[in-house]
Structure 1
Amino acid sequence: MNIALMSHDRKKELMVQFCIAYCGILSKHTICATNTTGRLVSEATGLPVQLFLSHEHGGSQQIGARIAYNEIDMVLFFNDPQSGDLDADLKYITNLCDQYNVPYATNLATAEVLIHGLERGDLDWRDIINPKTKPFTA
């Protein structure tokens, strides 16, 4: 499965800690992320992470395009509700996930439910509904 990682600045450390904790599960999947988040996760875990542009330079739009083409199977976006930075791009990601039935977590609790479901095979329906042609590339 293709998993996209995104996080607000004040939640990047939480994303890194989450990925360290679940590195064993994540290592079985293809990970992509906006630039800063992806670099931090890759450096901390050793996981290969496909890096897109930073959010402010269009990384959210790159991920959004891949959601629209059913190339993303799960989005983990650790939102900082106090940042007031839920801009149009991130709202767009939320709408795309709803439109294409892509599991989407905006906080640690939901991300843990999704990651455990991924490990159990609860999300294998994505492979049936959206067969992969090949993993995404930059």
Structure 2
Amino acid sequence: MTDHTPSAKTIALIAHDNRKVELLEWAEYNRDSLSRHHLIATGTTGTVLTHEVGLEVTRMNSGPLGGDLQIGAMVAEGTIDMLIFFWDPLEPQPHDPDVKALLRIATLRNIPAACNRATADFLISSPMATTEYQQSRQALPSQRDFPIQRAS
């Protein structure tokens, strides 16, 4: 399946608490680039980006309250074009399964994803971030694609 990704992307921005300052600094540095796109963020991250950087951000719930799942659903639906997720690999989160699910669906749907500042810099500065792009997205298997195994 191929999707047409427009020049103005829908970018999801998420940061765990220990990485919010890093995402904030990155967003301030890339404010002009980010302002050309439609931004979606989890609750607290979106609030910080709006108040501290002045970006217009559509806010979902906070991550532990289902925000990661909301963004994951948007990825599955094909409405997110890029994921910037500064997650904390050293700090257990109460919603770790949601984090794993979000990263899994982003990989399955072939969404460019950055989990650190260096990768985020490469993505946002890429010419593909501001031009139309024919993106090949893997179709998600349906339940009927999996054989039903009955217990003996």
Question: 2:115: which partner in 1?
Answer: 106
Counting matched residue pairs gives 127
Question: 2:41: which partner in 1?
Answer: 33
Structure 1 unmatched ranges of 5 or more: 131-138
1:129 to partner: Cα distance: 5.3
Q: Deviations over 1:59-113 (max 9, x none)?
A: 0111011000000001101021211337110100111111110001111111111
Q: 2:128 aligns with which of 121, 124, 130?
A: 121
Higher relative contact order (CA 8 A, sep 6+): 2
1:43 aligns with 2:55: no
Question: 2:88: which partner in 1?
Answer: 80
Instruction: Report the identity percentage.
Output: 35
- 1:36-75 alignment runs, 5 A limit: 36-75=44-83
Q: Report the secondary structure of 1:32's partner residue.
A: strand
Q: Normalising by the residue count of structure 2, what TM-score does the alignment of the two structures yield?
A: 0.78
Question: 2:10: which partner in 1?
Answer: 2
Which structure's CA Rg is the greater one?
A: 2
Q: Distance in 1 between matches of 2:100 and 2:86?
A: 13
Q: Distance in 1 between matches of 2:128 and 2:115?
A: 21
RMSD (Å) for aligned C-alpha atoms: 1.7
Point out the structure with the larger helix share.
1
Amino acid at match of 2:28: I
Q: Normalising by the residue count of structure 1, what TM-score does the alignment of the two structures yield?
A: 0.86
Q: Distance in 1 between matches of 2:133 and 2:97?
A: 29
Runs of 4+ in 1 over 6 A off after TM superposition: none
